[in-house]
Structure 1
């Protein structure tokens, strides 16, 4: 049996060289998402791209870039994503934050937990969607 659940996908697009207090910005976003109890976060390194500066950054051998694009992707329930957005206001001064609706697809019925209420769980492990 396959079930779906509505969620939001939060994507934070920054440069690999962007930092927050001498730490990679993407890493700070991941650690704050973890502390906030979000379902999970993944970081994807781009091979080519450009942003507001219009400078193309690429991983091609002849034009090695030290500022490749990086995407941090987080998917969770709408209320949890929206509650996390203020954390990003101070962090992402350059880059882009995108929030879009999505559906999470579960094979089999998601487990219910005590804090899920009458409509069922948001997923596994403490009510988070994983």
Structure 2
């Protein structure tokens, strides 16, 4: 896969406990992005955060894994990201989605 130098970054903020069809939402999103041949996706787990409900989610020693925040970052061309957005609408019922233009400096290794 190739990624243009001028690409888009799709950032999705959800909770670790969020589900779609009984499966973890982050997993459904990443697998769908891969199925649509989007260049790359990464899921990061946050140590602490809150969203529209203002309920604090944190990973403390006495309360491990209290619906921790997850951030999914997906990068590809504007066209591929735009095609993925309607798919997200069918999968997600809550969360935050942001979009920004990025400049890709390297993708893969020199041999690929």
The verdict on a shared fold, with TM-score over 0.5 as the criterion, is yes
TM category, shorter: 0.7 to 0.9
The one of the two structures with greater contact order (alpha-carbon pairs below 8 A, sep at least 6) is 2
Q: Is the 8 A contact 2:20 2:92 kept in 1?
A: no
Output the CA distance in 1 between the equivalents of 2:80 and 2:18. 25
Q: Which runs of 5+ in 1 are unaligned?
A: 112-123, 125-130
1:117 aligned partner: none
Tell whether 2:84 aligns with 1:81: no
Point out the structure with max Rg over C-alpha: 1
Name the counterpart of 1:105: 105
Aligned equivalent of 2:35: 35
Matches within 5 A, 1:1-130: 5-106=5-106
TM normalised by structure 1 equals 0.76
| Structure 1: distance between partners of 2:61 and 2:53 | 22
- In structure 2, the gaps of 5 or more residues are none
- Runs (4+) of structure 1 moved beyond 3 Å? 62-65
CA RMSD of aligned residues (A): 1.9
TM-score, normalisation: structure 2: 0.88
Q: What is the total number of aligned residue pairs between the two structures?
A: 107
After superposition, the C-alpha distances for 1:58-99 in whole angstroms (9 at most, x for unaligned) are: 002134342100011111111110111000001121101111
